[in-house]
Amino acid sequence: MVFDKLKNAFDEIVNKLTTTELDERTVEKYELDLIFTLVESDVAYEVAEYIINELKRKIVGKKVRRFEDKRIFLKRCLKDLILGLFTSVGDIDFIEYIQNKKRYKKPIVMLFLGPNGHGKTTTIAKVAYMLLKHGITAVAAASDTFRAGAIEQLEIHCKNVGIRVIKHKYGADPAAVAFDAIRHAKSKGIDVVLIDTAGRMQTDKDLMNEMKKIARVTNPDLKIFVGDALTGNDALEEARKFHEEVGLDCSILTKVDADTKGGVALSIVYATRKPIAYVGVGQRYEDLIKFDPMWFVNKIIGK
């Protein structure tokens, strides 16, 4: 089951605290154990520490009479805490956003960013498929001119969903490719430009500078971080660095259908303070669904 490991971690926290007095000294005794319970489920240490500290703040000094009442109380506190993290960063719906922007009569530019192998190209095809289903036209920019086969991969996906790809040769300036795609969209009255970029590690200065140049030249309406749900504890620093460099607007979490522990979603939102817009839940183009914080919270803590 998806997120089972994280659900078990939260169950363990509830079970441990249910059998203790909810006072500061007792909670602090278990604090490190509780933090590492979350870390083992791909929650970055900094985020786990935040969750346990916030939980401590919520529960210390509260009078709960019966054993079962304490369990219900602890689960409610955890649900409120996690839900609060997600709802505090707002929400974004691509269809609604684009339809509101269309009245300005210029293409909406969506820039997709993230480390290599996180599924940017496939995600672009899934977004294109979703847009077309809602009567929104799109074109893709093959701005990954770095990785061998990247342009062909994008072309195959875009041919499958029915949109055109604007491309240059390998080694070309990625910002120039994106600029040409925007110009093409303007001339043809196309609603959205989807810009694919080279996967890069947050530690690669040259590629990060190239990414900033693309953002500067294209002035995108949405800068979207594509994060892999299987990344683990690295997700916090990856998302944080991309956000520091270009200022993200939202994230898409891929491979949620795989054997994911679930902690990456918490880490990305904590790092960027921006919403997860969609999650990839399969290999098909239709397997992109709106992220629902309540669905996530119910999965990891229970209804």
% residues pLDDT > 70 (the chain): 94
The amino acid sitting at 39 is V
pLDDT digits 0-9 by tens, 151-207: 999 999 999 999 999 999 999 999 999 999 999 999 999 999 999 998 766 567 788
Where does residue 21 rank: exposed (0-12), middle (13-18), buried (19+ CB within 10 A)? exposed
d(CA 196, CA 198): 7
Q: What pTM did the predictor assign?
A: 0.91
The domains of the chain are located at 4-87, 94-301
Contact 141, 181 (CB under 8 A): yes
301 against 93, higher pLDDT: 93
Token pair 């679930």 in the structure block, residue: 262
Say whether domain 94-301 belongs to CATH 3.40.50.300.
yes
Where does residue 203 rank: exposed (0-12), middle (13-18), buried (19+ CB within 10 A)? exposed
Sign of CA dihedral 240, 243, 244, 245: positive
Average pLDDT on 30-52 reads: 89
The count of residues in the chain is 303
Region of 225 on the Ramachandran plot (φ > 0 left; ψ -120 to 50 alpha; else beta): beta
pLDDT digits 0-9 by tens, 233-272: 788 888 999 999 999 999 999 988 875 667 889 999 999 9
Where does residue 271 rank: exposed (0-12), middle (13-18), buried (19+ CB within 10 A)? buried
Given the candidates 1.20.120, 1.10.260, 1.10.3470, 1.10.490, the CATH classification of the domain at 4-87 is 1.20.120
163 against 6, higher pLDDT: 163
pLDDT digits 0-9 by tens, 115-154: 888 889 999 999 999 999 999 999 999 999 988 899 999 9
pLDDT digits 0-9 by tens, 56-65: 888 876 666 5
Q: Work out the mean pLDDT of the chain and round it to a whole number.
A: 89
What does the pLDDT read at residue 253?
Answer: 94
